[in-house]
Structure 1
């Protein structure tokens, strides 16, 4: 436990003062009485006061606060999600009701142990030791809390801080980037929604198809509405149709739960949908849709459901939401099944599934040439044919050029379609047109800032073109909105962390990515481990990568140029690969320079 000596020597608030501040926070109207935030904060504070701060780990919190059993693993994101939420709530509290509080309780990123600091008025100067360094207060203030430092720092102190930052920039080739505060990812007052897979309540294959199709339509159309933040596809698919609102509230942190079911009997289909407030389980909206399948208006029905839900959640913008309803796809079961199978492929990314989905989508767009979503998906399939060498076919133009042509067709068919813009952005990027790719990405981001598949891809493209800071922010947002799909985004986020000098976070992120089936995952992992001084891990991952992509290293410079990496970043990649023990050609560094030679445009 903390002692009188601790308080005197380290200028910490005493236990009674800290407990009083804890009581003040959790009883404030600015501290929402939702989930287990109060229990979470109380647990970590009391453990720290008892001298057990080093034992505050995700496992202990999961068992003690969230009542998980001993089988809990890090694959369960409940602690990470709720810790991020608690940080945002505390930040808001100290900007509102807690502005005049004497003590600040914070939870630095990278762990769960809290820190306790005095909230010192601007007129009070910190004590200094004989060497002239500020004691006590400053050492307990997290480095990213510059607003609080500004309240009491003198002009000379600020000048000293500026000098230190300039010196750090001089000695570090690329400074570590502190991502935007989590409140900028999802604000504490923003309405957040998660969609549970709609239940199959009927008999036979039709009900299953319609239930899945309706869920996918909602996951695609609802994020277009800027008034709500919709958790992504993998997070949604990780839930059961009858998920309890308490699980959604405690594990995901969504304020609203949309659920429902589909029942098919003969030619009749009934869809039920309901929206619940996860704080108390109250049903805010419900609707029943009865339809005759012979009318072939299934997809119009799906669009209507999406519009009605957006109206219910995003008031007072209901009229806008209704007018902005997504264009329904063709009322053809086979064509629609193709789009659903595309998502299965994206989860698996195998050459076997690739061939089946390519054939299916080609048939769909031949029958329905204005089906923008199918064109967009086909563009991404062609792109994988080129970059992964999946099922290559002899043709007059390369798969990458065919991907770009197909993406342009998708954008012409429906200019505001997010998937079409994503396909166009990605195809432009891999056809060595990065400026145009980013321009399209900016356009899509303005239309739909909530689609996790798009913002994750855009974040990755920004990173590869050297915009590591901004790309990292978008990747953080993608993870926050879709923790269930974090593996895809975390690999790119790990690379961004490494390039920004945050090697500790890079290791954490790559370990959570778990994308063993993808060769480039092992390349990134090898580089990260090498930079972090983990030599054995680096060599192991490097050897795995070389076995999976033996043609990469002999043509490494062309491979990096094809990914539109700036020359300085290419040099850093090469150095990291050498450090990981990879056989990079001796003359590689000397050939790193901007090039538009035709031989450089395609990977070998």
Structure 2
């Protein structure tokens, strides 16, 4: 068995794709909707691949990419303008996701190794199975230094992990037949799962270690992952008692048949000397497809085991369960990325997150209607009420599909959020909705207190971190707000447009206009009115008059009357007077019809007089 595994790994390492095959794969990637990056990142990918194939890999540096791909001027400094680093990280993560989803059957794998911008090429052989080929092809490898096409080097852990996983799977399949022995007939039967969307079960992580305590590590990690996953209310996670009864390596299809779950999280733990390696995988139980896979390495001499377990469990739970995460995207694909026909709350939730990713007025009304019918059918569903609270608020703050009536959008938003919290006081989505509604009801102190409570309940939720970071910044705590947004961006690049746009506001307020420009260009939110206002004031401050005028005209087309209520609009967002004055300065430069003297400027002038 050892010899066969080593031989297979060596054969895979010896195969390198031809330049024509790499170019064909590049064209496939550029054209694929499964590669979830904007046009600028596709341009980045084509540039580094073509330069490598032309034998100019040594020229692929941050400065060259910045000037030749992102049109920076000759004074470009990668230390102060992070555009290359940010786009490289976004592209690297998007390629990993692509090859674990839509690109599972592609013959050539193109990756961007960490710490460099030179791409790596590998020819994927399918004889060893889709799981192994996907993991092997995405394993970290040194960037090419010689010719344009380089095969992946063998890794110290590769052969042993292959053997250990094979043994674990074999033993698991044998043990699975005994799982139901001695149990009552209904012990493992499918039970009705609560309303709440996708369902997940965690198989105990396999012990592949050379040390006797590795079993303890594996058990502890499984428990911690279950605890972290339970914080996300959008998914239903089967309890630890059910998880413990499933042997490592059990067949996903059998688990789905017996437990009725859609997703299976499995993994392995290996400890040797002072090193710990953890591999996690998320499977679609219906098809057996690997939707996500990642390897974590840790040094037991540098950090204690409890800290390592907590860190890895947090990263796994965040990647898998967060809004816009792996499960969310898989459900979107399963539903054809369209608005579902049925009006059950989980289906509406799927549409809600699609709306939040783009913030378009076109989808707002349909999703609001769906959620209203969902809460009529399921009045005790807290998350649906919380989502509805956001949609009511968006009638006011973005001007999306406002309704006439005695009750204002903000009041309806507050009522829905408070109902959500009453139904489930520990539901992070409910607390997030209440935080935002209170904030726009001009109760920032109470809003931020609720936000702190929500983050304490689930510090892994990037949707929450981004929202709370935004409110902190608007209230004047720009530094802490930016730190939370950076965390959200690092953990959840799939929602990078919103985070980049808000970070652009932070950079603007710090008068770092170069960084603000870089960030606003990464925020693909052109259907979102505030995007155009922020872009206009940034461009105006750096003297890009034509781009400022284009953004100004687009914003005025979408929100033509907002400047008639400038002071009210700024007040409801709880900006400090000095920040409002800074916005007004940029807005005047951009040609917006800002009042001659705003309320904030009058207040600042009065302070100076005293």
TM-score category, normalised to shorter length: 0.5 to 0.7
For residue 340 of structure 1, the aligned residue among 326, 346, 350 is: 350
C-alpha deviation, 1:548, in angstroms: 1.7
Residues 103-182 of structure 1 aligned to structure 2 (within 5 Å)? none
User: Does 2:373 match 1:469?
Assistant: no
User: Does 2:96 match 1:242?
Assistant: no
Match of 2:520 in 1: 510
For residue 460 of structure 2, the aligned residue among 420, 425, 450 is: 450
Match of 1:297 in 2: 193
Distance 2:589 2:204 in 1: 53
Match of 1:316 in 2: 220
Match of 2:561 in 1: 551
Distance 1:311 1:436 in 2: 46
1:358 is paired with a residue whose SS is helix
* Structure 2 CA distance for partners of 1:111 and 1:143, relative to 1, 3 Å: closer
Q: Is the 8 A contact 2:428 2:458 kept in 1?
A: yes
* Structure 2 CA distance for partners of 1:414 and 1:293, relative to 1, 3 Å: same
Match of 2:212 in 1: none
For residue 575 of structure 1, the aligned residue among 577, 581, 585 is: 585
For residue 383 of structure 2, the aligned residue among 373, 377, 381 is: 373
* Structure 2 CA distance for partners of 1:318 and 1:446, relative to 1, 3 Å: same
Distance 1:108 1:435 in 2: 46
1:506 is paired with a residue whose SS is helix
Distance 1:365 1:244 in 2: 43
C-alpha deviation, 1:70, in angstroms: 11
Distance 1:511 1:431 in 2: 31
Match of 1:75 in 2: 41
1:316 is paired with a residue whose SS is helix
Quote the RMSD (CA, aligned, Å). Answer: 5.3
User: Deviation string for 1:533-590 (max 9, x for gaps)?
Assistant: 2222222222222222111122212211111000010111111111112222213267
Q: Is the 8 A contact 1:338 1:357 kept in 2?
A: yes
Match of 1:413 in 2: 423
Q: Is the 8 A contact 1:177 1:501 kept in 2?
A: no
Match of 1:484 in 2: 494
Distance 1:434 1:549 in 2: 25
* Structure 2 CA distance for partners of 1:328 and 1:521, relative to 1, 3 Å: closer
Q: Is the 8 A contact 1:308 1:322 kept in 2?
A: no
Q: Is the 8 A contact 1:311 1:319 kept in 2?
A: no
Distance 1:592 1:109 in 2: 46
Distance 1:503 1:543 in 2: 21
Match of 1:400 in 2: 410
Q: Is the 8 A contact 1:310 1:321 kept in 2?
A: no
C-alpha deviation, 1:74, in angstroms: 2.0
C-alpha deviation, 1:476, in angstroms: 2.0
User: Deviation string for 1:100-159 (max 9, x for gaps)?
Assistant: xxxxxxx9998879xxxxxxxxxxxxxxxxxxxxxxxxxxxx999xxxxxxxxxxxxxxx
Distance 2:531 2:438 in 1: 23
- TM-score w.r.t. structure 1 length? 0.52
C-alpha deviation, 1:244, in angstroms: 7.4
Match of 1:384 in 2: 394
Q: Is the 8 A contact 1:494 1:505 kept in 2?
A: yes
* Structure 2 CA distance for partners of 1:77 and 1:425, relative to 1, 3 Å: farther
Match of 2:373 in 1: 363
For residue 426 of structure 1, the aligned residue among 436, 448, 459 is: 436
Distance 2:64 2:404 in 1: 53
Identify which range, 457-466 or 317-326, moves more after superposition. 317-326
* Structure 2 CA distance for partners of 1:527 and 1:293, relative to 1, 3 Å: farther
- TM-score w.r.t. structure 2 length? 0.52
Q: Is the 8 A contact 2:357 2:498 kept in 1?
A: no
5+ residue gaps, structure 1:
1-62, 83-106, 114-141, 145-175, 187-192, 197-230, 254-271, 595-604
Distance 1:378 1:245 in 2: 44
Distance 1:304 1:578 in 2: 52
